[in-house]
Amino acid sequence: MIATIGLVLLLVISVTSLIPATVVAEKENARLMEDQPAPYAQVPASAESVNDRVVFGDLPDDVGRFRPDGDFFFVTVSAPAQSLLSWFAGRGDPAIDLLTTEDKFGVRTPSQRREAALQQMRTASQEAQFVALTAAGYEPEISLGEVVVQEVLCRTVGEDGLCAEYYPSDEQIDPSDTIVEAEGVPLNSVEDLTAVLADKQPGDTADLLIDRPEVGRLDVTVVLSAAPDDPERTIVGFRPFDTRVVTLPFEVDIDTGRIGGPSAGLAFTLALIDELTPGELTGGRNIAVTGTIGLDGSVGAIGGLTQKVNAVSQHGVDVFIVPAGQRELREPEPGEPDLRRKLDEAGRGQVELIPVANLEEALAALEALGGDPLVPVNS
């Protein structure tokens, strides 16, 4: 009898692991305001040492490298497809959030999404290097980079808050396109494009040479528009990625691998500072960090914080520095879910969250935890 029950249970588990969660799982699409199937879930992934990804070349004699005992950890999430079994097992888990297809993929093509994520990570790495070396007492330089489309701008927003009309260039350019030339002029920066358009009027056209991921180079002609904030200024109608290039006084890099997105920027920055200055910013302990980093040292919000808190807990790290601007940290309005409580549940009450708004606050928090104060090498 027991053997029969066991076989039945194994059969049930096997069958439910093959049935997609969409037979029962639904979530509201906020853009369309309708319930849709939720075939995916955002779940915790990993917490990995940033210090292990810092790569130095041959350093000059006057540049020291200080190998800390403690590590900074960056944290990732994933969004796998869900089966009926995994949906059932994960019900009520604060670290699992259902995702519709649009939640996971948005409205971009797969190649556009991947290129955008990698560009964001490259930018995060460059900005981390600039901010870290500046804080450590060195003098890196920064220069303008190539023109890469982040998104086409919306010209008119509808009553529902969604874009009702994009700028005309939406017909010819896509996110992640690199604009190589404009009117036959090679472009090395957005400023070069602005100079080419200086004599153009809204309604004029411009010939562009673009490089599209997985397609190659294309010649297109776009209709130009007036800038929304300055009718006298003529624009193509897109928001560019920040592709500025950092030139360092010595060779150092961060191995980002195939990691996408900018959320490890602050972790990269702190790890580089710790490697290049005497003392231990961490006080010899392991500390998890998430948040984007701006060239001015500001720390920006990231996605998947609940899942990241859970990943930190699973990896045995008990301190997590997070962006102060996270909506999960504010007091909920009446009728809103208590996201802070959800964070605490995801961390199993074992993770101390320390919100910071900029690099200065992050360094002060580390010192309060027992770490050494930052001493720039050229101070």
Q: Are residues 258 and 136 in the same domain?
A: yes
* Residue finishing a domain among 240, 274, 303: 240
25-37 pLDDT per residue, tens: 677 766 666 778 8
Question: Environment class of residue 167 by beta-carbon count within 10 Å: exposed (0-12), middle (13-18) or buried (19+)?
Answer: buried
Q: Are residues 307 and 224 in the same domain?
A: no
The tokens describing 246, both together, are: 């950092």
Assess whether pLDDT exceeds 60 at residue 12: no
Range of 218's domain? 147-240
Residue scoring higher pLDDT (371 or 64): 371
Measured distance CA(151)–CA(260) in Å, rounded:
17
Q: Are residues 95 and 155 in the same domain?
A: no
Residue 144's pLDDT is 75
- In the three-class reduction of DSSP (H, G, I as helix; E, B as strand; rest coil), residue 166 is classed as strand
For 5, phi and psi rounded to 5 degrees?
A: -60, -40
Q: How confident is the model at residue 103 (pLDDT cuts 50, 70, 90)?
A: confident
Q: Say which range, 261-270, 290-299, 316-325, has the weakest mean pLDDT.
A: 261-270
Q: Are residues 136 and 269 in the same domain?
A: yes
Domain count, the chain: 2
Q: Are residues 272 and 357 in the same domain?
A: yes
Q: Is residue 79 part of a domain?
A: yes
Is-contact 95 305, C-beta < 8 A?
no
Percent of the chain at pLDDT above 90? Answer: 39
Assess whether pLDDT exceeds 90 at residue 361: yes
| Average pLDDT over every residue of 222-226 | 94
Measured distance CA(317)–CA(313) in Å, rounded:
6
Q: Which residue has the tokens 């673009």?
A: 210
Q: Are residues 357 and 258 in the same domain?
A: yes
Q: Which residue has the tokens 């489309």?
A: 149
Q: Are residues 52 and 160 in the same domain?
A: no
| Average pLDDT over every residue of 264-268 | 91
Residue 32's pLDDT is 64
Residue 369's pLDDT is 96
The amino acid occupying position 205 is: T
Q: Say which range, 175-184, 186-195, 327-336, has the weakest mean pLDDT.
A: 327-336
Q: Is residue 15 part of a domain?
A: no
Residue 6's pLDDT is 57
Q: Is residue 66 part of a domain?
A: yes
| Nearest alpha carbon to residue 78 among 47, 118, 116 | 47
Residue 219's pLDDT is 96
Q: Which residues contact 253 (CB under 8 A, 6 or more apart)?
A: 54, 55, 125, 129
Q: Are residues 265 and 217 in the same domain?
A: no
Q: Say which range, 2-6, 77-81, 94-98, 219-223, has the weakest mean pLDDT.
A: 2-6
